[in-house]
């Protein structure tokens, strides 16, 4: 599959990984439409800095299915006719909270992060797939089995999806859900010629992590990764995503980009690592 002249929605495309993959796609002659929550002026300025003509911005929260559908309809109007090929779903949140011994203190965080990270993933995949298919003649009421490759969606899970490490009791399980949603979508969308893959990075020093979590994770990686024992560069994740887009045989696959890191345990030693992970939830 060639990226040249194809269009991709990038959720969270104003962020670190989404922005980097947007630049890779643009460098290969593709078009990008970024869905993010930044105000329109800020989001547009950011996305136009990637490319003045082939990058576009739509302000939309990925957990609002109705607005997401409108954003997809707008995307089909913006990009060259018939060119919408896929999505890189990089929008997510990772709430933070000071340590509490009461598990019920995490319930409200779980509701919020589940809504955005898990429900949002389902909604993005559903709306993008329908938008891609809308470019083709009506498939009719029964599942078609098309010959052409219509597209590819790459969802971003995390190395903390499985196993879920210490202090990831809300974010971690929502990233486990991302893998399940990807698998279900890959199966459902196979007959439509749409592939669905997942990338699971370890730690990238981006705004979702926040400055207080990086030192904690740096020491976790140094202690627990195989090699390299360091945080990943956004480019190392973006090139994995581009590989999944370009290789037509890649489907229903979870690509871990993690230096062999499998996370920390709650009970790793006499000093409980949970209390070291300030504001991680």
Ligand X SMILES: NC(=O)c1ccc[n+]([C@@H]2O[C@H](COP(=O)([O-])OP(=O)(O)OC[C@H]3O[C@@H](n4cnc5c(N)ncnc54)[C@H](O)[C@@H]3O)[C@@H](O)[C@H]2O)c1
Q: Which parts of this chain interact with ligand X (CB under 6 A)?
A: 11-12, 14-18, 35-38, 61-63, 90-93, 116, 156, 158, 201, 203-204, 206-209
CB of 281 to ligand X, least distance (A): 13
CB of 199 to ligand X, least distance (A): 8
CB of 205 to ligand X, least distance (A): 7
Instruction: Give rounded-to-5 percent helix, strand, coil for the chain.
Output: 45, 15, 40
DSSP letters, 158-214, are: -GGGSS--TT-TTHHHHHHHHHHHHHHHHHHHGGGTEEEEEEEE--B-STTT-TTTH
Region for 170 from its dihedrals, namely left if φ exceeds 0, alpha if ψ lies in -120 to 50, beta otherwise: alpha
- Closest residue by beta carbon to ligand X: 15
Question: Which alpha helices (DSSP H) does the chain contain, by range?
Answer: 16-27, 40-50, 65-78, 107-113, 120-133, 171-189, 214-224, 234-246
CB of 240 to ligand X, least distance (A): 12
Closest to ligand X by CB, 201 vs 273, is 201
CB of 217 to ligand X, least distance (A): 7
Closest to ligand X by CB, 119 vs 188, is 119
Closest CA to 13 of 65, 53, 51: 51
CB of 11 to ligand X, least distance (A): 6
Closest to ligand X by CB, 192 vs 196, is 196
Q: CA 66 → CA 60, 61, 98, distances in Å?
A: 10, 10, 34
Closest to ligand X by CB, 7 vs 59, is 59
Closest to ligand X by CB, 158 vs 192, is 158
Q: Is 148 helix (H, G, I), strand (E, B) or coil?
A: coil
CB-side exposure of 281: number of CA atoms within 13 Å? 26
Closest to ligand X by CB, 179 vs 204, is 204
């Amino acid at each position: 599959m060639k990226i040249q002249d194809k269009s991709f929605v990038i959720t969270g495309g104003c962020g670190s990984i989404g922005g980097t993959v947007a630049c890779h796609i643009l460098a290969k002659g593709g078009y990008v439409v970024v869905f993010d929550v930044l105000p329109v002026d800020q989001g547009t300025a950011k996305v136009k800095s990637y490319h003045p003509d082939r990058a576009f911005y739509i302000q939309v929260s990925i957990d609002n299915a109705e607005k997401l559908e409108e954003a997809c309809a707008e995307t089909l109007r913006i990009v060259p006719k018939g060119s919408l090929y896929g999505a890189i779903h990089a929008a997510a949140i990772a709430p933070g909270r000071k340590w509490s011994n009461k598990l019920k203190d995490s319930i409200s965080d779980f509701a919020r992060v589940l809504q955005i990270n898990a429900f949002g993933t389902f909604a993005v995949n559903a709306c993008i797939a329908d938008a891609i298919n809308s470019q083709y003649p009506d498939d009719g009421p029964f599942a078609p089995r098309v010959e052409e490759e219509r597209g590819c969606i790459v969802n971003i899970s995390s190395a903390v999806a499985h196993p879920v490490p210490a202090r990831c009791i809300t974010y971690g399980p929502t990233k486990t859900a991302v893998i399940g949603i990807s698998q279900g979508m890959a199966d459902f969308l196979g007959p439509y010629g749409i592939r669905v893959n997942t990338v699971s990075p370890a730690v990238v020093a981006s705004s979702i992590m926040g400055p207080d979590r990086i030192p904690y994770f740096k020491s976790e990686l140094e202690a627990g990764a195989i090699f390299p024992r360091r945080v990943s560069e956004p480019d190392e994740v973006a090139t994995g995503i581009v590989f999944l887009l370009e290789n037509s045989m890649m489907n229903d696959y979870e690509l871990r980009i993690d230096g062999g890191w499998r996370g920390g345990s709650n009970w790793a030693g006499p000093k409980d690592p949970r209390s070291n992970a300030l504001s991680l939830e």
